[in-house]
């Protein structure tokens, strides 16, 4: 009997800091990420993969802006850019994962699903943008871009730079979740909820419309994992374990923490609002709702005993 796991890749797993974002770079990163999934598949897991899109959707927006300024090409709203990113990241992951499977004498269908996620248009997040997207900028350049009054940048002191931030409303409903669960439990690999899903709301009864936002992919992944009855949630990031006092001389990595400890550290402000805090909150959400464990780690440590930080009920 196979178990079902949701594996949430960060956008930085496919486009790393300092890279230009060429297709060759992202293909190589997708190949590396795909190889790291082999351990889970050999451990009899069915897989639903989710992914971030912060670097990619930021670059899409920059290309939109340049196209409008140079050629008058109409700019697309943020929800459309999220859908763009779902398509091309899903394609990259699917292709490289298929290469890995065939090179290891394994065969599974891989299905990418463009996923819409319902949000509340009155969510207070729209009054306080916090979700970082796109590349890092020097302070002066970020301040210059904020002069238009419509763009907000915030400093990420841990990583040394300024990033654009947008609204990140809470995910409420993930569309097509029953199909995602069935397809995955039939032994296929599903790629869904890319970038946290395309945010939408009901403009009026029975009429959906997109909205300018980026849903946190870890919170959306935790909601999806709960709704499809996953036995485990893996949240992947660029560090092997969650740390207290991150990037200081007092840094301490955590092997295992309970829900109570996770809530305590979160309340103390141990985790960055735009980086580790949403991952911890997502893990808490999944563990509380499902009773199953969540693991936060880097992709190279998937399937390794004590390979990350495990969040448990007690």
CA 280/CA 239 separation, integer angstroms: 14
The rounded distance, in Å, linking the Cα atoms of 191 and 226 is 16
Nearest to 237 by CA among 221, 249, 248: 221
Q: Of the residues 197, 279, 292, 308, which is catalytic? A: 279
11 catalytically annotated: yes
Which residues face 5 on adjacent strands? 47, 232
For the question of residue 131 being annotated catalytic, the response is yes
Helix (H, G, I), strand (E, B) or coil at 247: coil
Q: Which of 53, 90, 131, 307 is catalytic?
A: 131
φ, ψ dihedrals at 205, nearest 5°: -55, 125
Separation CA 307–CA 302 (nearest Å): 7
Sheet hosting strand 173-174, strand order edge to edge? 173-174, 116-118, 198-204, 207-210
Catalytic pick among 164, 217, 232, 241: 217
> Quick one: 251 exposed, middle or buried, by C-beta within 10 A (0-12, 13-18, 19+)?
exposed
Verify whether residue 121 is a known catalytic residue. no
State yes or no: is 217 an active-site residue.
yes
Token pair for 13: 């797993």
* Main-chain phi, psi angles of 306, to 5 degrees: 55, 35
Q: How many residues in total does the chain contain?
A: 314
Structure tokens at 80: 């459309």
Q: How far apart are CA 157 and CA 80, in angstroms?
A: 30
Radius of gyration, CA atoms only, the chain? 19
What's the CA angle centered on 209, arms 203 and 213, to 5 degrees? 110
First to last CA, the chain: 27
β-strands 161-166, 131-137: how paired?
antiparallel
> Among all residues, which ones are annotated catalytic?
11-12, 131, 217, 279
């Amino acid at each position: 009997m196979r178990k079902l796991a949701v594996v949430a890749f960060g956008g930085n797993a496919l486009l790393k800091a300092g890279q230009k974002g060429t297709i060759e770079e992202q293909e190589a990163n997708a190949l590396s990420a795909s190889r790291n999934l082999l351990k889970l598949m050999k451990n009899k897991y069915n897989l639903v993969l989710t992914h971030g899109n912060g670097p990619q959707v930021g670059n899409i927006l920059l290309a939109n802006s340049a196209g409008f300024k140079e050629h008058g090409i109409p700019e697309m709203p943020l929800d459309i850019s999220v859908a763009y990113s779902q398509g091309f990241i899903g394609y990259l992951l699917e292709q490289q994962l298929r290469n890995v499977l065939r090179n290891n004498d394994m065969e599974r269908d891989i299905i990418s699903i463009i996923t819409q996620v319902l949000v509340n248009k009155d969510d207070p997040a729209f009054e306080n943008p916090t979700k970082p997207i796109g590349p890092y900028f020097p302070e002066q350049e970020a301040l210059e871009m904020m002069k238009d009054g419509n763009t907000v940048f915030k400093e990420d002191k841990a990583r040394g730079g300024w990033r654009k931030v947008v609204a990140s409303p809470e995910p409420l409903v993930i569309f097509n979740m029953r199909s995602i669960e069935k397809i995955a439990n039939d032994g296929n690999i599903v790629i869904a909820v890319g970038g946290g899903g395309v945010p939408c709301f009901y403009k009026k009864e029975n009429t959906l419309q997109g909205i300018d936002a980026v849903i946190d992919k870890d919170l959306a992944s935790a909601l999806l994992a709960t709704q499809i009855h996953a036995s485990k949630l893996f949240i992947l990031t660029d560090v092997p374990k969650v740390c207290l006092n991150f990037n200081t001389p007092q840094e301490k990595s955590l092997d295992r923490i309970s829900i109570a400890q996770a809530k305590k550290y979160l309340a103390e402000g141990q985790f960055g609002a735009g980086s580790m805090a949403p991952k911890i909150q997502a893990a808490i959400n999944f563990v509380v709702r499902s009773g199953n464990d969540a693991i936060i780690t880097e992709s190279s440590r998937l399937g390794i005993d004590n390979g990350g930080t495990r969040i448990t009920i007690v």
